[in-house]
């Protein structure tokens, strides 16, 4: 290790000892301190920093080791070593920890005090190592100012002296060691305080009752003053926890705690004692009411115990900060998603049947962030959080996503009416007053699954349905919702697999010229035959393909399959037969959709006019200008365009004039009853409109001769339907063409 690495090890040069530095009268005896570090400069700096230190009437005597192996040899030879200042990283990354292990396990020396130091924070020992091997302290060299080093050494030697001088109280010491280990496992300040009181009860024979007190700010929610609070108590009323000490109702406790905190020292009388606890910036007072004065031995045991407690008190504050970082939302100060999952765990396991869990999703929140700025968005989120909290103090409210809040509480308090009322008035966000619309998913306890993750998934299912339902923004979870979701996911998974394994196919329904009866083309219809031989209806799997995005890959495949079939039909001498395919709005939204269709016709070397794209009114109305622009480019290439299902949607006739279409398809719903009196008006009107616009008109769904006759009379151009032929595989369609030729 090079000296330059310690250029920031400033504990030699910074004298921050102030006026309360340790000064004792000196005797001839010494405390033996072993300095273990592979850097000679550290030895010199440490010895110089401690050169004038006197602890409990003795000066320090220094021994030096420059490796872990050398340290072990010295400790084995010298039984009077009381303190080891030990580097963690020397000849190996864990050389220092190996020395600790040897002292505790091989030599069974529990009295030697150990302070770990390192210049490499990344090599910090695990919490379990510090606990298992009774390590007094752990510091990085850069944070050890002279004052901190002196304080650490003094505390360690004093701990050693107390341990050795109360050997007759071995049972008490075992309690201290065990209790310190137990306290290290408590990660909340309230649990830690209760644990300290429990251990003191076993150490002090005159113990009656006690309280662990500290400032509440930063510990107790809502405590924004500098008042002293009872963080834990034993023997007082149960509701005294997290209350100000004055509210406990004991004048003696209040006066003793305040005096101890103010004077920064233990205060002891015959009937009570107030222990002053301090570690770094963290202070506390432990008040114990006594039925008899404590003995000198009990005081010694208590002070040894409290020297460990002070370290644990600092650690538990750090754990509290880590917990807040892990389980608290920084913006709203509400519990976050992780904590909400814990709340849902409890909800699913313990809550009564009249409770519900809900998710509230703010609609179009991103528009607020984008339009008004993130600061306004943040203020809105805080305002929403406050209003949700105001419903009832018994509710558990959390922020589980960017604009999603979770709530658990009584069903009466979280009814649709109350939740709707919460968002009925606008919210103040800085200078803005913003109305807010939300979607809400709710799961009742009786419908909830086991575990928080399961419940959260169930509420999400209800929330997603609420988002899709334009008429009702609040949905309650029901089991069939989840069943439907699982079915949909399973079908999508199977569709992806079967598409990859070529189990999808195009079948062709012939289209005929109504006047000549000649086959002029066919509509390509997608068919899905699963591995077990069953067919899945297009009405089922086409929406699933669109939902999953698979429709884009399937659509590209359909274009190429249709082009290949046109080429195959030409190869058999049928040069006047075209193929029409259906396209969806997701395909049109692709930037390269038009170019891919054109490229397909060219790569398969077919006449572009033989490929016809069918669009529906619904596609047209989704984004009219987008569709019109795309169709014009396709039409310019010679590709045919047909408008399907005309008259079933809400398209404007003005759009019909703008569309570069070649054929108008009369939907089967208008053909079904065309032979009945008074039921042919719409079909007849569409046929006549097509003629006026100089478009070919094709009627679909023809099932009998009477329908055909009516269409002939109206001058319809083309037809398709079961009366002529059902959809058939490609080979069968070729055979059909040969039969009709």
Which domain does 110 fall in, by range? 3-165
pLDDT band at 19 (very low <50, low <70, confident <90, very high): very low
pLDDT, mean of residues 60-86: 92
DSSP characters over 323-386: HHHHHB-TTT-SB-HHHHHHHHHHHHHT--TTEEEEEEEETTHHHHHHHH-HHHHHHHHHHHHH
pLDDT for the residue numbered 14: 42
pLDDT for the residue numbered 223: 62
- Is residue 496 situated within a structural domain? no
pLDDT for the residue numbered 23: 44
| 394 CB-contact burial (10 Å; exposed 0-12 / middle 13-18 / buried 19+) | exposed
Decide which of 327, 348, 382 is a domain's last residue. 327
Q: Is the pLDDT of residue 49 over 50?
A: yes
Together in a domain, 661 and 696: yes
Helix locations, 3-67, DSSP H: 40-49
Residues 493-524: tens digit of each pLDDT: 999 999 999 999 999 999 999 999 999 999 99
Distance of CA 550 to the CA centre of its chain: 27
Higher pLDDT, 358 or 169: 358
pLDDT for the residue numbered 224: 61
Together in a domain, 156 and 187: no
Together in a domain, 97 and 197: no
Together in a domain, 628 and 608: yes
Together in a domain, 249 and 384: no
Together in a domain, 90 and 130: yes
pLDDT for the residue numbered 151: 85
Q: How many CB atoms neighbour CB 696 within 10 A? A: 18
Together in a domain, 123 and 207: no
Q: Is the pLDDT of residue 137 over 50?
A: yes
Q: Which residue, among 604, 693, 684, 711, has the nearest Cα to 655 in the 3D structure?
A: 693
Query: What is the distance between the alpha carbons of residues 375 and 394, in angstroms, rounded to a whole number?
Result: 30
- Is residue 36 situated within a structural domain? yes
pLDDT band at 15 (very low <50, low <70, confident <90, very high): very low
- Is residue 701 situated within a structural domain? yes
Note whether 396 and 334 are within 8 A (CB): no
- Quick one: which H or E segment has residue 420? helix 416-422
Q: Which residue, among 499, 501, 605, has the nearest Cα to 560 in the 3D structure?
A: 605
Own/partner pairs, 123-128, CB within 8 angstroms, 24+ separation: 123/88, 123/89, 123/93, 123/94, 124/88, 125/88, 125/97, 127/184
Q: Is the pLDDT of residue 186 over 70?
A: no
Between 134-143, 450-459, 676-685, the lowest mean confidence (pLDDT) is in 134-143
Together in a domain, 143 and 244: no
Residue with tokens 């105001």: 390
- pTM of the predicted protein model: 0.56
Instruction: Please state, rounded to an integer, the average pLDDT across all residues of the chain.
Output: 85
Own/partner pairs, 625-633, CB within 8 angstroms, 24+ separation: 626/588, 626/589, 627/585, 627/588, 628/655, 628/658, 628/659, 628/660, 630/588, 630/593, 630/594, 631/659, 631/660, 631/661, 632/660, 633/594
Note whether 381 and 331 are within 8 A (CB): yes
Q: What is the DSSP letter of 220?
A: S
pLDDT over 90 percentage in the chain:
49
Higher pLDDT, 39 or 653: 39
Residues 613-669: tens digit of each pLDDT: 999 877 877 778 888 889 999 999 999 999 987 766 555 566 677 788 999 999 898
pLDDT for the residue numbered 417: 92
Together in a domain, 323 and 343: no
pLDDT band at 242 (very low <50, low <70, confident <90, very high): confident
| 502 CB-contact burial (10 Å; exposed 0-12 / middle 13-18 / buried 19+) | exposed
Query: What is the distance between the alpha carbons of residues 380 and 423, in angstroms, rounded to a whole number?
Result: 12
- Is residue 490 situated within a structural domain? no
Alpha-carbon distances of 271 from 237, 252, 289, 292, rounded to whole Å:
20, 10, 6, 6
3-state secondary structure of 401: coil
Q: Cα Rg for the chain, rounded, in angstroms?
A: 41
For residue 35, list its beta bridge partners: 64, 85
Together in a domain, 124 and 251: no
Higher pLDDT, 382 or 94: 382
3-state secondary structure of 83: strand
Note whether 396 and 221 are within 8 A (CB): no
Together in a domain, 313 and 220: yes
Q: How many CB atoms neighbour CB 531 within 10 A? A: 10
Higher pLDDT, 21 or 163: 163
Higher pLDDT, 653 or 491: 491
- Cα torsion at 17, 306, 111, 81 (round to 10°)? 10
pLDDT band at 18 (very low <50, low <70, confident <90, very high): very low
- Is residue 391 situated within a structural domain? yes
- Cα torsion at 438, 444, 445, 449 (round to 10°)? -80
Work out the angle at residue 34's Cα, subtended by the Cα atoms of residues 119 and 82, and round it to the nearest 5 degrees.
120
- Is residue 425 situated within a structural domain? yes
Decide which of 327, 355, 383 is a domain's last residue. 327
CATH number of the structural domain spanning residue 220: 3.30.450.40
Sheet bearing 272-279, strands edge to edge: 243-244, 228-234, 207-215, 282-290, 272-279, 267-268
Residues 83-126: tens digit of each pLDDT: 999 988 888 888 888 898 898 888 888 888 888 887 666 555 66
CATH number of the structural domain spanning residue 449: 3.30.70.270
CATH number of the structural domain spanning residue 77: 3.40.50.2300
Phi first, then psi: give them for residue 714, nearest 5 degrees: -85, -5
pLDDT for the residue numbered 225: 67
Note whether 100 and 86 are within 8 A (CB): yes
Decide which of 308, 327, 346 is a domain's last residue. 327
- Is residue 219 situated within a structural domain? yes
pLDDT for the residue numbered 333: 87
Q: How many domains does the chain have?
A: 4
3-state secondary structure of 19: coil
Sign of CA dihedral 60, 61, 67, 69: negative
Between 104-113, 340-349, 358-367, the lowest mean confidence (pLDDT) is in 104-113
Q: Is the pLDDT of residue 680 over 60?
A: yes
- Is residue 497 situated within a structural domain? no
pLDDT for the residue numbered 571: 93
Query: What is the distance between the alpha carbons of residues 213 and 227, in angstroms, rounded to a whole number?
Result: 10
Together in a domain, 585 and 460: no
């Amino acid at each position: 290790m090079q000296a330059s690495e310690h250029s920031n090890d400033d504990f030699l040069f910074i004298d921050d000892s102030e006026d309360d530095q340790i000064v004792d009268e000196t005797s001839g005896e010494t405390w033996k301190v072993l300095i273990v570090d592979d850097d000679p400069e550290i030895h010199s700096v440490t010895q110089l920093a401690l050169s004038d230190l006197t602890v409990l009437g003795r000066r320090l005597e220094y021994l030096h080791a420059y490796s872990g192996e050398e340290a072990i040899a010295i400790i084995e030879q010298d039984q009077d070593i009381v303190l080891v200042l030990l580097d963690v990283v020397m000849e190996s990354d864990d050389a220092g920890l190996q020395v600790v292990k040897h002292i505790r396990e091989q030599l069974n020396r529990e009295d030697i005090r150990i302070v770990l130091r390192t210049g490499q924070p990344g090599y910090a020992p695990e919490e379990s190592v510090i606990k298992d091997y009774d390590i007094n302290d752990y510091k990085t060299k850069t944070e050890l100012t002279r004052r901190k080093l002196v304080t650490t050494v003094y505390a360690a030697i004093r701990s050693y002296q107390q341990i050795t001088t109360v050997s007759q109280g071995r049972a008490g010491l075992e309690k201290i060691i065990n209790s310190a280990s137990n306290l290290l496992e408590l990660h909340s300040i309230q649990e830690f305080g209760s644990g300290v009181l429990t251990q003191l009860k076993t150490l002090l024979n005159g113990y009656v009752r006690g309280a662990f007190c500290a400032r509440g700010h930063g510990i107790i929610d809502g405590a924004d003053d500098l008042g002293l609070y009872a963080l834990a108590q034993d023997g007082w009323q149960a509701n005294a926890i997290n209350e100000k000490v004055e509210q406990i109702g004991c004048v003696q406790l209040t006066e003793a705690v305040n005096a101890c905190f103010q004077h920064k020292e233990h205060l002891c009388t015959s009937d009570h004692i107030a222990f002053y606890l301090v570690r770094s910036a963290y202070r506390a007072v432990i008040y114990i009411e006594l039925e008899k004065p404590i003995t000198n031995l009990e005081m010694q045991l208590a002070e040894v115990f409290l020297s460990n407690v002070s370290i644990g008190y600092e650690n538990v504050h750090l754990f509290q900060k880590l917990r807040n970082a892990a389980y608290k939302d920084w913006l709203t100060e509400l519990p976050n998603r992780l904590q909400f999952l814990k709340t849902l765990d409890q909800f699913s396991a313990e809550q009564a049947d009249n409770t519900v869990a809900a998710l509230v999703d703010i609609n179009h929140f991103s528009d607020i962030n984008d339009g008004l700025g993130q600061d306004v968005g943040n203020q809105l989120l805080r305002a929403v959080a406050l209003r949700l909290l105001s419903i009832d103090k018994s509710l558990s409210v959390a922020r589980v996503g960017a604009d999603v809040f979770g709530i658990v509480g009584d069903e009466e308090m979280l009814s649709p009416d109350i939740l709707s009322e919460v968002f009925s008035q606008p919210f103040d966000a800085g200078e803005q007053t913003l109305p807010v619309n939300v979607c809400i998913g709710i799961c009742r306890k009786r419908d909830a699954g086991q575990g928080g993750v399961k419940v959260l998934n169930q509420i999400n299912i209800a929330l997603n349905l609420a988002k899709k339902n334009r008429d009702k923004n609040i949905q309650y979870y029901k089991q069939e919702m989840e069943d439907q979701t699982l079915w949909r996911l399973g079908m999508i998974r199977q569709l992806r697999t079967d598409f990859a394994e070529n189990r999808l196919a195009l079948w062709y329904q012939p289209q005929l010229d109504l006047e000549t009866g000649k086959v002029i083309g066919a509509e390509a219809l997608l068919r899905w035959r699963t591995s077990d031989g069953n067919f899945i209806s297009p009405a089922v799997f086409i929406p699933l393909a669109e939902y999953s995005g698979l429709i884009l890959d399937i659509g590209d495949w359909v274009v190429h399959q249709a082009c290949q079939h046109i080429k195959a039909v030409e190869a058999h001498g049928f040069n006047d037969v075209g193929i029409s395919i259906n396209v969806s709005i997701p395909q049109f939204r692709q930037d390269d959709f038009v170019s891919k269709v054109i490229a397909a016709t060219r790569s398969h070397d077919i006449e572009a006019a033989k490929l016809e794209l069918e669009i529906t009114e619904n596609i047209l109305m989704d984004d009219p200008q987008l569709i019109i622009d795309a169709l014009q480019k396709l039409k310019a290439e010679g590709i045919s365009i047909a408008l399907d299902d005309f008259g079933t949607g809400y398209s404007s006739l003005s759009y019909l004039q703008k569309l570069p279409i070649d054929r108008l398809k009369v939907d089967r719903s208008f053909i079904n009853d065309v032979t009945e009196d008074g039921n042919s008006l719409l079909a007849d009107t569409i046929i006549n409109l097509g003629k006026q616009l100089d478009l070919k008109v094709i009627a679909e769904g023809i099932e009998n001769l009477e329908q055909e006759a009516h269409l002939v009379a109206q001058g319809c151009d083309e037809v398709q339907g079961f009366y002529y032929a059902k959809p058939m595989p490609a080979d069968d369609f070729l055979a059909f063409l040969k039969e009709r030729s």
